[in-house]
Chain A
Amino acid sequence: MRTWRWRDRLVLAGAWIAGLGLCTIAAAIVLYMGYRGVQYLRPGLIFESPQVSQSQAGSGGFLDPLEGTALLALIGITIALPLALCAAVWIVEYGRPSWLARVVESSIEVVAGTPDIVIAIFGLAIFQMSLLAPFSVRASGGGVFGRSFIAAGAMMSLIALPPLFVATRNGLQSTPVHMREAAFALGKTRIATIRRVLLPGVRSDIATGVTLGVSRIIGDTAIILLLLGGTARLEPQGSVPIFNLLRGTGSTLTSYVYGNSPAGEGLAPQKAYAAAVVLLAFVLGLNLLVDFIGRRQASASGLAVGSAIV
């Protein structure tokens, strides 16, 4: 190191600063939000519904946004999981004709690369068709509102689809061929092999995919702002028990944070911070869960993980 030229030393110093700097930023964000959490987060906030009030003391908590976040994650994953599993199984195990498999794989890449705001406004175009009016409210003028939990959840499934698909596909691809051959030798059909051998084998990959998908869904704001109607509380529409909730409007943690920040209407930074801390805690937890699943999988299969990166 002592014989290095000063330019090399400068670049090396830059590399250290860049690497450690990014870590510092991440740590600073987590610590700062943690500090704000200690300051503003009260257990009561989690169990109270939002109230309309001028002061931050009277505006209630974020029970409804929490429920909204959970509901959307549930809807999104429920739609995305079968789609992603079918696509991954079909592409890896059948994949005929191959150009069609390529087309499906490329479309998932396109979905992954599409900005969420475009997906959101696409959802608005879909759910404002009069054909889909039952899934949201019809406005007094006769136009379809197009904003509901179903609309937002359907678009959220597009957000969750790529990570789910990629995780499942990679799992299937790394399943050794001899496991399939052994199943075929026992007289199992292809589909039986998939159901009884392959899918149980890639369960942890699917779990990773679901975790990544949920963390994408709960962190997304653009789709919520355009498609969930922007009411602070869950507003069921109609009288059918569960369906009325699904076609109603509401809010999530992200839209609650947005709405209470100076960018939204309500000037309640304390509430925004408190909800953001909860949101960040969820995301952190899901991150840890992914790591945990990955590590358990690596030790269970007895394989050394080649590259720990990414």
Chain B
Amino acid sequence: MLDRLRRPWPDDRAERTLGAVSLLIFVCVVAMVVFVALRAWPIFAHNGLSWLLPGGDLHGQITNMVNAPANPPPAVYHLRAWPLIYGTLLSGVIAVALGLGIALLASIFIVEFAPASLRRITIPTIRLLASVPSVIYGLIGILVLVPFIGNHVISASEKASVQTLVQLNGTGVLVSVVILTVMITPIMVALICEALSSVPVSWREGAMALGVNRLRAMLAVTVPAARPAIVAAAVLAGARALGEAVMIQMVSGSVFFSPKPTDGVVFFFEPLRTLASTIIDYNDGVGAPALRSALYAFALLLLFAALTLSVGGYLVKLPLRKYQTRG
């Protein structure tokens, strides 16, 4: 046996072996979907799809699940998880919207306006921002930003205004969204820069020859040409934002509470909870069957969202193929 391995491999056997090993990755992805779906099944069996809807006291439902006996009665499986979905969407959508604007401006700066010396510093610095571990962002958030906002930004009257519902201590929408924006913007900058610089410079020069200034040429010619990639960048960054768990768990307050936009300024200081951060909060409780099923249902929803977004990102990028030759 060993002797056969040591001899030079025939080509067809090498091809089959390599192919088989590669297929393991596909098997792994299928296993991931199947396992998570199987474990989430009880929630779907008891609630159908209505567990995605609002209604009911989510805190009470989860507490029931935590305290349930090993063979819980069906009533324990009752779940209406909308507050978590709302929290996930709220933080994700605001962060992507803010980040997209910043990333677009920063990319235009890098591709068109930054002097060469500055560009050499800017690109690695922004890449560094993308590789800072999320726990460090969370640490800075919880030890620096949260106390600052809790002690200096939120006024006593604002704290009193929602005192009966929730305590404001600085954790919440504002800090979560700000840090999330900082985390996902570099990803968008990288993708948008790549797209902008793959649009032939001659197109821009053509516009400038017609008397348009550099910025207008950029905005009128290059940015629209790269639009599919910009949308794809936003979509991929959105996938990252929805799945961010640790940082959000650290700075969001981790309270079952839906921030209400009607509260005015206080809205930004209200705590929230997302799907991913709930999994971190309750991961010790996976022994309880109902809670386990709920956590896997959250994971399945995240997986589904990530899959949808990456397929979406791929589809919107297709039209860009025709610019692939670099000018």
A, B co-complexed:
yes
Contact flags (1/0) for A235-273 with B, using CB distance below 8 Å? 000000000000000000010011001110000010011
In this assembly, does A52 line the interface, its C-beta being within 8 Å of a C-beta of chain B?
A: no
A115 pairs with B250, CB closer than 8 A: no
Contacts of B219 in A (CB 8 A): 11
Interchain CB contact under 8 A, A257 and B135: yes
Question: What 1/0 flags go to A38-60 for Cβ under 8 Å of B?
Answer: 00000000000000000000000
A71, CB-defined interface residue at 8 Å: no
Report yes or no: A83 in contact with B133, Cβ–Cβ below 8 A.
Answer: no
**Residue B121 lies at the interface, judged by CB distance under 8 Å to chain A:** yes
Residues from chain A with a CB closer than 8 A to the CB of B236 are 113
With both chains docked as a complex, state the minimum distance between the C-beta of B258 and any C-beta of chain A, in angstroms: 21
Asked, given contacts A12-B113, A26-B125, A191-B14, whether A283 binds B132 with beta carbons under 8 Å apart, the answer is yes
- Contacts A107-B29, A108-B25, A125-B35 given; indicate if A287 touches B122 (C-beta within 8 A): no
Q: Which of B279, B283, B296 is within 8 Å of A125, CB to CB?
A: B296
Mask, A7-30, CB within 8 Å of B = 1, is 010011011111111110111011
Q: Are A161 and B129 in contact (CB under 8 A)?
A: no
Asked if A181 CB lies within 8 Å of chain B CBs, one says: no
Known: A14-B105, A257-B135. A113 touches B122 (CB 8 A): no
B246 contacts chain A at the CB level, 8 A cutoff: yes
The answer, yes or no, to whether A116 is at the interface (CB within 8 Å) is yes
The CA of A257 and the CA of B134, in the complex, are separated in Å by 11
A4 to B214, CA, bound (A): 10
Instruction: Given A19-B110, A309-B194, check contact A82 B21 (CB 8 Å).
Output: yes
- Decide: B280 and A117 in contact? CB cutoff 8 A: yes
A167-185 near B? 1/0 per residue, CB < 8 Å: 0000000000000000000
A263 adjacent to B15 (CB under 8 Å): no
Find chain B residues with CB under 8 A from A111 CB.
25, 28-29
A221 x B135 contact (CB < 8 A): yes
Nearest CB on B from A136, distance (A): 13
Q: Is the CB of B26 within 8 A of A115?
A: no
Query: Is A117 a contact of B279 with CB atoms below 8 Å?
Result: yes
- For residue B138, CB closer than 8 A to chain A, the reply is yes
* B299 part of interface (Cβ distance < 8 Å): yes
Closest to B127 in A: A287
B245 touches A257 (CB 8 A): no
Q: Which of B77-113 contact A (CB under 8 A)?
A: 102-103, 105-106, 108-111, 113
- B290 at interface by CB-CB < 8 Å: no
In the docked arrangement, what's the CA distance between A110 and B310, Å? 7
Give Cα A100–Cα B28 distance, bound, in whole angstroms: 15
Report if A222 contacts B (CB, 8 A): yes
The reply to whether B185 and A310 form a contact with Cβ atoms under 8 Å apart is no
Shortest Cβ gap from B268 to chain A (Å)? 20
| Docked complex Cα distance between A109 and B114 (Å) | 32
CA gap between A190 and B15 in the complex, in Å: 9
Q: Given the known A-B contacts A113-B309, A261-B250, are A19 and B29 also in contact in the complex, defined by CB atoms under 8 Å? A: no
A33 is an interface residue with CB less than 8 A from chain B: yes
Cβ distance A114 to chain B, nearest Cβ, rounded Å: 5
Q: Is B326 an interface residue (CB 8 A)?
A: yes
B213 touches A8 (CB 8 A): yes
**A17 to chain B: which residues have CB within 8 Å?**
105
Chain A residues with CB under 8 A of B28: 107, 111, 158
Q: List 7 A-B contacts (CB under 8 A).
A: A19-B109, A21-B102, A111-B28, A118-B306, A124-B283, A190-B11, A222-B245
Chain B residues in the interface with A (C-beta under 8 A): 8-11, 14-15, 17-19, 21-26, 28-29, 31-32, 35-36, 38-39, 102-103, 105-106, 108-111, 113-114, 119-129, 131-136, 138-140, 142-144, 182, 185-186, 189-191, 193-194, 197-198, 213, 215-216, 219, 236, 239-240, 242-246, 249-250, 276, 279-280, 283, 286-287, 295-296, 299, 302-303, 306-307, 309-310, 314, 326
- Taking A122-B36, A143-B287 as known contacts, 18 extra A-B pairs with beta carbons closer than 8 A to each other, sorted by chain A number, are A14-B105, A15-B106, A19-B109, A32-B144, A89-B18, A107-B26, A110-B29, A111-B28, A114-B32, A115-B244, A115-B245, A118-B36, A215-B131, A219-B134, A221-B133, A221-B246, A272-B143, A291-B124
